[in-house]
Structure 1
Amino acid sequence: MVIPEMPQDDTTTPAAPEQANPSTQTEQRPWKPAALRGLRLRCPNCGEGKLLKSYLKVKHSCDNCGQELYHNRADDGPAYLTILLVGHLLGFALHITYMQFRPDPLTLALIMSLVTISASLLLLPRMKGLVVAYQWAKRMHGF
């Protein structure tokens, strides 16, 4: 039994802004170097300019190459990635610390709280850079 194909209606699929220029659609952007640049808080295009202008605010454009960066829509992605990483690392650290050293519960809670807050504050901007760089590499949200 053959199922007939449905005709494609041009009005149902909105045209992306990049479809006007076919050369930008065929150009591949490798995501691994871009992701590593994002983790270093550098421009995903050139790797030289800074990605963030404050703790979590993405710059409008790169100072070095002029790549526009305001298109990003990282939203809650960096926070989820940070919680995922810190939660898994601290879960293992908590278990190992308690089994090896048996510290007082209050001491253990204070130390683990400080480590958790420090690790979260350190990782959050890097995860934001990673998400923005991945979006840039995959041409998501207007890049």
Structure 2
Amino acid sequence: MTDHIATDDTRPTWPALRKGWRKKCPNCGSGPLLRGYLEVRHSCPVCREELHHHRADDGPAYLTILIVGHLMAPLLHIVFVNFRPEPLVLFSIFGVGCVALTLYLLPRLKGVIVAFQWARFMHGFSGGVT
């Protein structure tokens, strides 16, 4: 599979979002997007695409809360109604599940938001034009 390196006038959104979900550079798809757990690199070490223009801010956290809440709340209700586990067991299982799902989703959603901004030429991702 060959990755298409985007030019300044064409940046397809869906391939960029898939690369962002994998925490890879939205331009080349092979360089790492994040330096640590959530810190976005200033530029891609492979293709030298500047990534410091992003404005992800609280977007990944809001999306993570939205997804985790909409998945875990109905599941919590179903488990409680059908199985009636002890409250401490229920809290332990769903507490660990919520934390694990949050830790999994947060960096991936940050990658998606940065990739979306890159693909749509937002916040300085304008291909050299500031």
TM-score range, shorter chain: 0.7 to 0.9
Equivalent position of 2:123 in the other structure: 141
Equivalent position of 1:56 in the other structure: 38
Q: What TM-score, normalized by structure 1, do the two folds share?
A: 0.80
Equivalent position of 1:81 in the other structure: 63
Residue 44 of structure 1, aligned match among 23, 26, 29: 26
Equivalent position of 1:66 in the other structure: 48
Equivalent position of 1:90 in the other structure: 72
Q: In structure 2, how many angstroms separate the alpha carbons of the residues matched to 1:97 and 1:131?
A: 33
Q: In structure 2, how many angstroms separate the alpha carbons of the residues matched to 1:33 and 1:102?
A: 44
Q: SS at the partner of 2:54?
A: coil
Deviations 1:75-128 (A, max 9, x none): 000000000000001012112211222101121011111110111111100010
Equivalent position of 1:29 in the other structure: 11
Identity of aligned residues (%): 55
- Comparing 75-84 with 94-103, greater Cα deviation is found at 94-103
Q: CA deviation at 1:63?
A: 1.1
- The reply on whether 1:119 has 2:104 as its aligned counterpart is no
User: What number of residue pairs does the alignment pair up?
Assistant: 119
Q: Which has the larger radius of gyration?
A: 1
Q: In structure 1, how many angstroms separate the alpha carbons of the residues matched to 2:11 and 2:79?
A: 43
Moved over 3 A (4+): none
Deviations 1:32-90 (A, max 9, x none): 11001000000000100000000100011111111000111100000000000000010
Amino acid of the residue matched to residue 63 of structure 1? Answer: P
Equivalent position of 2:82 in the other structure: 100
Gaps of 5+ in 1: 1-22
Gaps of 5+ in 2: 1-6, 126-130
- The reply on whether 1:130 has 2:116 as its aligned counterpart is no
